[in-house]
């Protein structure tokens, strides 16, 4: 059998083609590897399995200010702050703390939310006047926002803060100011011509949770744990987590002050149950023996429940308001 010899020119042409193919593969591999290591931060997401719901926390400004001195801060409630404000929107897992600080390569960039400044200053304000106006938002984004980027509705700073602002309108625990400041401006429309129609038009999005159950700010009235819990449960169908802080007067008297209402939400922002955890405030752990009070009960008995820092740090799923006696819900005074 005669084999036709391959000329030198044809041989080298084949070799060149083989090297060219290998070269293309090397280039492609380099691009892929480079992309993995130099992937833009906006495409880095938190593992979806690390969290299964949100905790949406709203703060009562007098409670935030009551804690300011414990954190060595100066509190200021601006004239634009009229009601409950947003503390945070926190990805959470079961009954435990959710993931935190998930992507340090995606730092806070104020320019991304600059157009939201007016709304943020009103509904998600930094009340610590001795810190940068943006430090609170930076904290919330760095610690919590970077952990829910796997969800389209909270992926990126603008989406994350917009989601929080929208939730504040949807689940605001007190909406009395909405009619006074906004509802009265659209009475020319038949659908919103009076207070009842205004709130009905929102399709139960603006829930006057506390006021509808008679829980209103007062200089003298006090409310129980059940007053707050039942008011919110009546509105959304699930119990919230409520947080209190302790005020210690110079004469030695101690009283509790409402600080936060926290509700749990599914990833589609519908309400769900908050599962109580096992870590309790002030370092108390539930280690109840046969013949002794639990550490949590000891804390409540000694009036220690609520002794905590509220503005940036406390994210436990356990309510810290006393269940055995009433606490205060004072009006907002600009300070």
The verdict on whether 87 is a catalytic residue reads yes
Residue 219 designated active-site: no
Rounded distance, CA 312 to CA 330, Å?
22
Give the separation between CA 259 and CA 61, rounded to whole angstroms: 7
Listed in sequence order, the DSSP H helices in the chain are 8-37, 61-68, 117-123, 135-143, 157-170, 176-181, 195-201, 225-236, 295-301
Residue in 87, 256, 311, 312 annotated catalytic? 87
- Catalytic option among 53, 140, 312, 315: 140
Please tell me the distance from the alpha carbon of residue 263 to that of residue 273, in angstroms, as a whole number: 8
Q: Which of 144, 311, 312, 315 is catalytic?
A: 144
**How many CB atoms lie under 10 A from the CB of residue 3?**
5
Active site residue 239: no
- Residue 294: helix, strand or coil by DSSP? coil
Which is nearest to 327 in space by CA: 241, 239, 215, 236? 215
Sequential DSSP letters for 147-203? G-TTSGGGSSHHHHHHHHHHHHHHS-S--HHHHHHTGGG-TTSGGGSSHHHHHHHTT
Q: Show the tokens assigned to 52.
A: 């299964």
Enzyme catalytic residues:
87, 140, 144
């Amino acid at each position: 059998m005669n084999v036709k010899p391959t000329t030198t020119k044809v041989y080298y042409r084949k070799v060149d083609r083989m090297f060219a193919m290998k070269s293309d593969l090397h280039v492609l591999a380099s691009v892929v590897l480079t992309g993995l290591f130099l992937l833009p931060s906006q495409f880095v997401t938190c593992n979806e399995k690390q969290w299964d719901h949100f905790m949406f926390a709203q703060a009562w400004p007098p409670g935030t200010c009551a804690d300011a001195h414990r954190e060595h801060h100066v509190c200021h409630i601006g004239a634009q702050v009229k009601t409950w404000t947003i503390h945070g929107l926190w990805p959470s897992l079961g009954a435990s703390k959710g993931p935190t600080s998930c992507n340090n390569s995606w730092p806070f960039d104020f320019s991304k939310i600059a157009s939201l400044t007016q709304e943020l200053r009103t509904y998600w304000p930094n009340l610590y006047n001795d810190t940068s106006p943006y430090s609170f938002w930076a904290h919330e984004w760095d610690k919590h926002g970077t952990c829910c980027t796997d969800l389209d509705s909270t992926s990126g700073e603008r989406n994350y803060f917009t989601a929080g602002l929208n939730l504040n309108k949807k689940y605001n625990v007190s909406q009395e100011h909405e009619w006074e400041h906004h509802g009265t401006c659209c009475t020319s429309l038949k659908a919103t011509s009076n207070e009842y129609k205004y709130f009905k038009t929102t399709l139960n999005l603006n829930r006057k949770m506390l006021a509808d159950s008679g829980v209103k700010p007062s200089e003298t009235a006090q409310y129980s744990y059940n007053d707050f819990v039942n008011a919110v449960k009546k509105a959304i169908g699930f119990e919230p987590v409520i947080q209190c802080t302790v005020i210690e007067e110079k004469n030695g008297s101690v009283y509790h002050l409402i600080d936060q209402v926290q509700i749990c939400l599914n990833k589609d922002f519908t309400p769900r149950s908050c599962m109580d955890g096992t870590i309790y405030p002030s370092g108390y752990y539930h280690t109840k023996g046969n013949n002794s009070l639990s550490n949590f009960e000891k804390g409540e008995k000694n009036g220690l429940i609520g002794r905590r820092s509220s503005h940036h740090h406390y994210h436990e799923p356990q309510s810290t308001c006393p269940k055995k006696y009433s606490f205060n819900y004072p009006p907002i005074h600009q300070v």
